[in-house]
Amino acid sequence: MPGKKEGDKDMDSKQMLTIVEQYCRKVDRAGEGIQVTRVADHKTMFVEQSGNSGRMITLSEFKVDGASYWAGYSSRSQTVYISLAV
């Protein structure tokens, strides 16, 4: 995959769902190495800024406890971005 560096780790949908569930249920995730950042509601894409450039993160829908969330992972910053779908 172009632009992919050795050591970059992709996240599968099961891992992503677990992180979204933990975030929504306010479970402490200390020491897991993945940051979680809340973005504005209703977002399905997010531009992660890095210096003078940006990287588009596409968010996928996840359902937790009857609520819908959009979430996406950036391997560059090891961050999961979460948006409430409402």
Q: What is the pTM of this model?
A: 0.82
Considering Cα of 15, then 37, then 48, then 7, what sign does the dihedral take?
negative
Instruction: Give per-residue pLDDT as tens, 31-79.
Output: 578 899 999 999 999 999 988 999 999 999 999 999 999 999 999 999 9
Contact 16, 71 (CB under 8 A): yes
- Domain extents in the chain: 13-84
pLDDT over 90 at 8, yes or no: no
Q: Is 16 helix (H, G, I), strand (E, B) or coil?
A: helix
